[in-house]
């Protein structure tokens, strides 16, 4: 502990010496007349340090070379211009390859640039539902393997539509090639006899998410752990164990490495995978959080299960919007665009929402019919949306996957086609170009074993969609 001692000779000037415990060095303080007492001489002060010129045999360091004009740092405007030219050259190269060496179409490039700007701002709208004629049932394919002979629970596609990743109740994750229709690699769930150096899930995998640039694949399950993998070879990178309940949903913000997760511990968490670190926790839900989704904006949309709410988390503003709906549990939520989203639940309802209203813009009751066994609405277990369009899909266990068209102003839903599928449809995904619909079909519901459809197969179903 430091203390001050007044000088007897100069008490009027208030000269003080600050003495530190355990140290004999005293620091003198300058008085008001500008007089500075002599500093106690250090034994090292008399030592001379030889310069490099006096050292024998040691070469002198050459003087730094003068920077040329080309090496000078570019301004922010010059950097933006350089990146814009680079992006344009890449687009022209892609179009030239697509047109087999012909000159690129300038109008097509301009249209792609305009769509990119609208997509980033959340204002891109494309009407595509009326272009579809129906499914190509003759070309439907099933992907199965012995490592996932148990029910599948989740599904995710890479941004380039070349690979699909599926999770199952035995804790396994399988990577499929959609082009070759073959299994590429697999991670098995942990068991009592598993090797000690093996990393994986000890319990069912409930959710998967992949970054837009395909650098990271995240998986979460009933063991309350989030694992991060390399999508190429499914090599383990990192694990997060901050959740206290089952991890039920994962979503990446588009074009970033920011990951959102939700759990049965009633919380939503934010992670930064570039630094492999935890960012923050978002509280508000009063029940298990069952699903989460995100697009380009720094926002996350979560479904609160039995609390009957959907919450839009604004990360930058540190605020949230609360939407109320559904008679039962809200089990899944998907963003159609930055301003509209769709939800489903065990009450059999399919709800279409807008960010400016707390109630649904459109409600479809008994979207998948009535169950013959208990005369209740069939549980809508999964939904998918073709982003920035008017096409959405829903799945249940009634034997059909339904595709819906969002009407004018997103105030109505109209069924445009049905695809026969036997079993529980636990996950749905559109390819980015809308040419295929991928479904994870199982004998059981992904959250439990309340029903079992014996004639169903645990497989990934690839459904080609024909256009008019």
CA–CA separation, 66 and 69 (whole Å)? 10
Q: Find the angle CA(333)-CA(336)-CA(337) to the nearest 5 degrees.
A: 125
Interacting residues of 200 by C-beta distance below 8 A, sequence separation 6+: 171, 172, 173, 187, 188, 189, 190, 194, 227
pLDDT value for 403 = 96
Q: Which residues of the chain have pLDDT under 70?
A: 1-72, 99, 101-103, 115-124
pLDDT value for 451 = 87
CB atoms under 10 Å from CB of 363, counted, come to 16
197-211 burial code (b ≥16 CB/10 A, e <16): eeebbebbbbbbbbb
pLDDT value for 326 = 86
pLDDT value for 68 = 42
Helix (H, G, I), strand (E, B) or coil at 28: strand
217: β partners: 210, 229
For domain 129-467, give the CATH superfamily: YVTN repeat-like/Quinoprotein amine dehydrogenase (2.130.10.10)
Q: Where are the domains of the chain?
A: 129-467
């Amino acid at each position: 502990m430091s203390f001050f001692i007044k000088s007897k000779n100069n008490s009027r000037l208030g000269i003080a010496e600050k003495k530190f415990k355990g140290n004999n060095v005293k620091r003198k303080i300058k008085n008001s007349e500008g007089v500075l007492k002599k500093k106690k001489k250090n034994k090292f002060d008399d030592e001379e340090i030889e310069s490099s010129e006096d050292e024998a045999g040691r070469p002198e360091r050459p003087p730094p070379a003068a920077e040329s004009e080309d090496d000078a740092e570019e301004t922010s405007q010059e950097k933006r211009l350089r990146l814009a030219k680079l992006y344009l050259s890449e687009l022209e190269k892609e179009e030239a390859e697509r047109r087999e060496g012909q000159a690129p179409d300038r109008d097509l490039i301009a249209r792609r640039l305009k769509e990119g700007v609208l997509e980033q701002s959340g204002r891109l709208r494309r009407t595509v539902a009326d272009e579809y004629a129906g499914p190509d049932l003759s070309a439907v394919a099933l992907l199965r393997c012995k490592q996932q002979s148990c029910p599948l629970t989740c599904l995710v596609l890479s941004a380039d539509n070349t690979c699909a990743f599926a999770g199952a109740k035995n804790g396994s994750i399988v990577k499929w090639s959609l082009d070759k229709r073959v299994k590429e690699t697999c991670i098995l769930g942990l068991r009592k006899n598993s090797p000690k150096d093996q990393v994986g899930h000890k319990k069912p995998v409930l959710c998967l998410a992949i970054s837009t640039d395909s650098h990271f694949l995240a998986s979460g399950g009933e063991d309350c752990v989030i694992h991060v993998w390399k999508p190429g070879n499914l090599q383990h990178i990192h694990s997060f164990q901050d959740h206290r309940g089952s991890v039920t949903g994962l979503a990446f913000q588009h074009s970033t490495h920011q990951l959102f997760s939700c759990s049965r511990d009633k919380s939503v968490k934010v992670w930064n995978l570039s630094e492999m670190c935890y960012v923050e926790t978002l509280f508000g839900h009063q029940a298990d959080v069952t699903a989460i989704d995100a697009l380009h904006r720094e926002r996350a949309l979560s479904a609160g299960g039995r609390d009957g709410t959907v919450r839009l988390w604004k990360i930058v503003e540190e605020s949230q919007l609360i939407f109320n709906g559904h008679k039962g549990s809200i089990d899944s939520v998907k963003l159609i665009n930055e301003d509209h989203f769709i939800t489903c639940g065990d009450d059999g309802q399919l709800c279409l929402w807008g960010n400016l209203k707390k109630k649904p813009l459109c409600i479809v009751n008994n979207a998948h019919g009535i169950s013959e066994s208990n005369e209740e609405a069939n549980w809508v277990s999964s939904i998918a949306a073709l982003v920035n369009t008017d096409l959405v899909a829903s799945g249940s266990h009634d034997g059909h996957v339904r595709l819906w068209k969002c009407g004018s102003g997103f105030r109505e839903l109209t069924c445009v086609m049905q695809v026969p599928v036997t079993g529980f449809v636990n996950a749905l995904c559109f390819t980015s170009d809308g040419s295929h619909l991928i479904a994870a079909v199982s004998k059981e519901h992904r959250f439990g074993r309340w029903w079992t459809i014996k004639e169903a197969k645990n497989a990934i179903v690839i459904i080609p969609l024909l256009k008019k």
